[in-house]
Amino acid sequence: METKHYIVDNMSEFSDQIEAVKKLQTYLDYIEGIFPVIEEVLGQEWEGEKIHIILKDSTGYDRPGGKHTISIKIHDGAIQKKNYPENLWGCLLHETLHAFMNPLIHGKIGGPNFLDGDCDNEPFVRCFQALVYLALKAKGELSNALCDEFLANLERGIKQEEARKLYNRYKTMFLENPLNFHKFLERLKSSDTALFKKSTFQQDFEEAEKTLKS
């Protein structure tokens, strides 16, 4: 199974699950449909090879040997039980955001950019996901109620207080100006060294805030 941006590596293992496979294809088509919105939020097009999907019993993202690889469950509720746009909660959408961010986070002199500092629950990527949902709402793809539900779910999933504060701090910074997210990512992309170190995260974040306001 293959689309413009995705290829399923182990599709043959599920060839006997005809209905599940059909719904997976429909789901991939829906995610492809909003792929340009993700690119618009980022301010850049996808520059990598196709994203490889492995169907297994867990969900996650990795980049072994430089190959973007996403694991999802073929029987995930977003794929098998929900219709568009309710199926835009998490799953492949969330892991695709990791694929976009991975090259900007890693491969820097001095180590990766620690965009979450010491926090758990992925406050930065969750904020990126919130921006995608807000863009979809602006285009009429998500109702106000569904967008609010998704945003509430994003914040509710952040159990650590410091992580929740950081998530909202990122949101405030990026929503102050529609270009702020683009400028933030361009700064990460153009720097050969990591701009966010775990040991100096607060100072690095404050520097980013000042840079965006200048």
Could you tell me if 151 and 75 lie in one domain? no
Model confidence over 71-105: pLDDT tens digits?
A: 999 999 999 999 999 999 989 999 999 999 999 99
26 and 110 together in one domain: no
What's the full length of the chain, in residues? Answer: 214
Do the beta carbons of residue 73 and residue 58 sit within 8 Å? yes
Distance CA(98)–CA(193), nearest Å, equals 20
> How many domains are contained in the chain?
2
Collapsing DSSP to helix, strand or coil, 201 comes out as helix
Pairing mode of beta strands 60-62, 69-72? antiparallel
Going across the sheet that includes 51-55, the strands are 6-8, 51-55, 69-72, 60-62
| Same domain flag for 71 and 145 | no
Q: What is the pLDDT of residue 116?
A: 97
Question: Given a cut of 80, is residue 61 above it in pLDDT?
Answer: yes
Mean pLDDT for 191-213 is: 94
**Domain-embedded: residue 2:** yes
Q: Which tokens is 166 given?
A: 């950081």
Place of tokens 């979450």: 116
Q: Which of 90, 120, 152 is the last residue of a domain?
A: 90
169-197 pLDDT per residue, tens: 999 999 999 899 999 999 999 999 999 99
Q: Which one-letter DSSP state was computed for residue 157?
A: T
Domain span at residue 19 reads 1-90
Asked if 110 and 205 sit in the same domain, the reply is: yes
pLDDT tens-place string over residues 104-159:
999 888 889 999 999 999 999 999 999 999 999 999 999 999 999 999 999 999 99
Asked if the structure places residue 97 within a domain, the reply is: no
- The predicted structure's pLDDT at residue 107: 80
State how far the Cα of 119 lies from the Cα of 110, in Å rounded to an integer. 20
Answering whether pTM is above 0.85, one says yes
84 plus 112 within the same structural domain: no
CATH number, domain containing residue 81: 3.30.2010
